[in-house]
Structure 1
Amino acid sequence: MGRKLPPFAAVRAFEATARHMSVKSAAEELCLTPSAVSHQIKALEGFLDTQLFERAGNRIALTLTGKGYAGKLTGLLDTFLEETEAVREAPRILRVLSTPGFAARWLVPRLPRLDFARDVRLRVSNGAPWLDFATNDADVVIQWSDRTTPGLHVEPLMASARYPVISPELRQREIVRHPEDLLRLTLFYDETDDAWPEWFQRAGLAGAELPPGPTYPNCELSTTMVEQHQGVSLAYDAVVRGTIASGRLERLFDVATPRLPIYAIACPEPRAHDPRIAAFRHWLRAEAEAEGVVPQHLPQAAE
């Protein structure tokens, strides 16, 4: 059964008149004529089947029923106004903190497909994004790895294998055809989770002496250097697919490391069901699922 509520305009007219004890003052507050206010009050009395005002000429007085009803309505309308203003003044901006690689190579190219993309404010961190939501000025963090943190809702987002990538220009210049050809090139290493030894082992070159090369704090820096024809990096498939499709990078060989979780969505547990955060999480998950990069055997995402 639907709620059988009185017309809101009639409620407002009665409450304003009862508060001012004047039809004229209520009409001025509501930008109506006194006749319209009187008509709304009579409509409310008809809906309630009870008299709210006693009338004597131009003078009015609340009945006992009217006085009790008016007192409750004023409190309810004050609360209604406060809640409405809170919604109107609430920031519509969704602040997202992520790694440079995730932002530049995965999120930004897809962001126009998000309904409220114009309200997303994206910031990147030089290293792994910090998860202290009291200080990181973020609503959502795309964290590196899927580790759980007390007080946070963490939802695994992406898993990926790794393989070498090179610029088309460098590949043509250096004539790279076999995995051992990489041993004479400049390789870029990761400060954390470097997997070159594992990749060479899977390529049949276990124990090979790896060439020297710079170490970077994140994979985005090394991938950018590859695009500038400076060497070869071990890239994450889920992150660089778009760059490879654009022709700026090429994958080398069919050998890849096993798929491992690389990104997860984190937000404070009390805000996990915030409509905007939940919508953003579900959109990220749908985009990742469409590409087949969501980790296997995931728990059901929270609704």
Structure 2
Amino acid sequence: MKTNIKYILGLFIVIALTLVSCSETEYSLGNLNAPSNIVINFEVVGVDADHPNGNGSGDVKFTVTADNALSYKMDYDNNNPLDLAYLENGKATKKFTKTGVNTYTVTAVVYGAGGASSTITQDVTVRSDFTLAPEIVTALTNDASKTWIVDKSVPGHLGVGPWDPTSTGPAWWSAGVDEKVSTANCLYTATFTFSVAAGNYALKVTTVDGAFTKTGALTTLPGIPGSGGEGCYDYPGGTSPFSFAPASSGAPAVPAAPGNSPSTQTAIILSGVNTFIGYGATLKEYEILVIDPNYLYLRVQGTETGNAWYLKLKPAP
């Protein structure tokens, strides 16, 4: 036993001396300078002598610049929970929809090397003439709370077509009845509860069988794997505020051609990244094509450029 202990101790000392004698390599992350000289430039669309707060569209064009910047994000209203939207190349156009002339405090977060970040705030005053039809709120929320599901019993409950104001129908592909039951049943078991209280809107998503989406690169939902095809992915659900806004597609209220749908010209805009309606896309604007108390027909700009996805929902039983 003593011989074994001496052998083990001797071996340990040799290894320790060997490690100490090895040359050490030094690594450097370089200068982790936080972004500086941040500036938020903005243009309220339609400002002139007669319209000092814009033309009523509510559109504001933002450009954020900074030294040592690698990426940019923006929170558009400090009065609401933090909701950072990515700004490609530091540029974005935001549509503010609160009726009348309102001032918003926006915050830009600029990221540099190693995750170093800096922030800046700016007040923006803009006019919006958007008027929401009260019957849309009533149909969607029952003026309190209402839960919807994708209606697998009707053809076209899921479809794909071009993202084009003159084509408002699933011209490329349309699902048949029960189309995804065997391959992606989560499309039908997820529930979407829209609620309103004191003028504030919220969406609660419950996903007992996961979320119907594509890969992590093609959805904003957190935790989705970065590779894989269309299908059901583990996702716990979530809750977020939402708002209504004029639909950005420009689709008319009257169908442009047979097979197209009319549009209410109103959209549901989801906040944050953890909610979706039917299909977890990268964009959060779901245009309401048709709505009544028993039917909700939506389209959302697809994950692939130029695509529109169509969804038909009904109230949950």
Band the TM-score falls in, shorter-chain normalisation: under 0.3
After TM superposition, the score normalised by the length of structure 1 is: 0.22
Structure with higher RCO (Cα < 8 A, 6+ apart): 1
Larger radius of gyration: 1
Higher helix share: 1
After TM superposition, the score normalised by the length of structure 2 is: 0.21
